[in-house]
Amino acid sequence: MKVEGEPLIVLYVEDDPAHAEISKRNFKSSRIINKLIHVDDGQKALDYLFHQGEYYDVLKNPRPHIVLLDLRLPKVDGLEVLQRVRTNPELKTIPIVILTTSGADKDIELAYYFNVNSYLVKPLDFDKFSSLLESFGFYWLAWNQYPK
């Protein structure tokens, strides 16, 4: 849920350092996201969302407005993260967008079965990947309307 005037917070779950760096640079240059929280495995994503472990402090670790989630993650797979968030009454309304290299039908079907909001396949081309991130930012963080 987005509150007027509140900074936009994205939880970005990505284990590939190169993809993470490209994404961070694109988001920074687009000036849409006010705060990007990056974690590099599925367990850290769950810890952040459920305020556990090092992310226990709710004030220091605010709930994100959207989660950008890779599928192939260490410790806990992205589909399991998605499933656990969707079964939690307090978290299930947070929009989750899968951003992955997998365009496999089975992955797409499972993601939508677990109620993902959108599924994006990372292009291999740098310029296309940058364009995808810019479009993501504008759609989800500037144009999309959230309940008050």
Question: Is residue 127 packed enough to be buried (19+ CB in 10 Å), middle (13-18) or exposed (0-12)?
Answer: exposed
Looking at domain 9-143, its CATH superfamily turns out to be: Response regulator (3.40.50.2300)
Pairing of strands 35-39, 9-13: parallel
Q: How confident is the model at residue 107 (pLDDT cuts 50, 70, 90)?
A: very high
Spatial CA neighbour of 42 closest among 7, 104, 84: 84
Mean pLDDT of 34-57: 95
The pTM score is 0.89
| pLDDT for the residue numbered 3 | 45
Tell whether the model's pLDDT for residue 91 goes beyond 80.
yes
Query: Domain coordinates of the chain in residue numbers?
Result: 9-143
pLDDT digits 0-9 by tens, 54-70? 999 999 999 998 999 99
Tell whether the model's pLDDT for residue 32 goes beyond 70.
no
Q: How confident is the model at residue 31 (pLDDT cuts 50, 70, 90)?
A: low
| pLDDT for the residue numbered 38 | 95
Single-letter code of the amino acid located at 137: G
